[in-house]
Structure 1
């Protein structure tokens, strides 16, 4: 079930969704872990790493290569069931200038939740429902989940993955292995889905800067390889 914040956002953009959706090459939800296992410093490292990635010359080059359609990107904070919050609604990114402006907005994001559980299933379902009524129609639809632990939120993660796959959404994972060196294996087995899905592990939160850059380079690439 989508959180109240996501449902409110869907209502706000409902009028746009009723019109013909705007085609884009990539629809991307960046889902950031805000569960209790992530302290404030670690959360800021996610924010700063994501902002830096949208100023990286190689990432900007990939954005330019998406012309003329470009991408539409949103940022969600997630934690336990019902905790997801959209902190940046879908924003069109059609040029390097757009990407830099997006990165600036990312850097201004505050932490709004500190959930007691880690519900990756909720992150997937809420992000999927957000994509369903966002006014865009992506040739590729991707949910990019960053997290530092296994799902313990009590919902059915396998079912959430299946729903994303049925909607033609690829789920990629960025497991942050600060506390669990086996988390990459867990993400590979239980989180990602889709024929081109992949994981980009980070050794710890400090390594997140590198990992999110590498991940975006692959997700924004015009041709899968």
Structure 2
């Protein structure tokens, strides 16, 4: 019984130590980042402080998927979505689909995009994960933050309906695997952070071709 208590105390101590912020210049530990920065500035100088800030900025850049409900950051969208499932009660709706050809998959995707007024765009290129097995990942086009250019740098007028970007990450994704002439799709179909709005819907390739032909004839 005593051994268990000691083990628990040791575990708690380890947990506390892992949460402390350590100075890389002298190995002193601090309870939070603010105290660490003050120490670095006062003891090691402005140059050392800037080095610490640069490292923190790089870490934040790598962890580019930020939770909109708490301060946590993640490296990939899947981890952010799992965090929302575990911590913020997001309920996934996952379907596993199989298509006999890429044409059949694209037809299905066009229909799904038309139904939801959202489009799935590639977040990674088509990569060969094994011999003749290709993977690609697509995410909702409403994801992310719109970066507005200064007026003098804009080449187009601002959209009347505003940017399609929602300022956070939508969790609807397609994980696409091409193997043996078939297309296997893991479809997380539940969107997050926006409504299905016609004003932000893009034309499918077929619709764009029809419109272009109509304009040419006119």
TM range (shorter): under 0.3
TM-score, normalising length from structure 1? 0.23
TM-score, normalising length from structure 2? 0.24
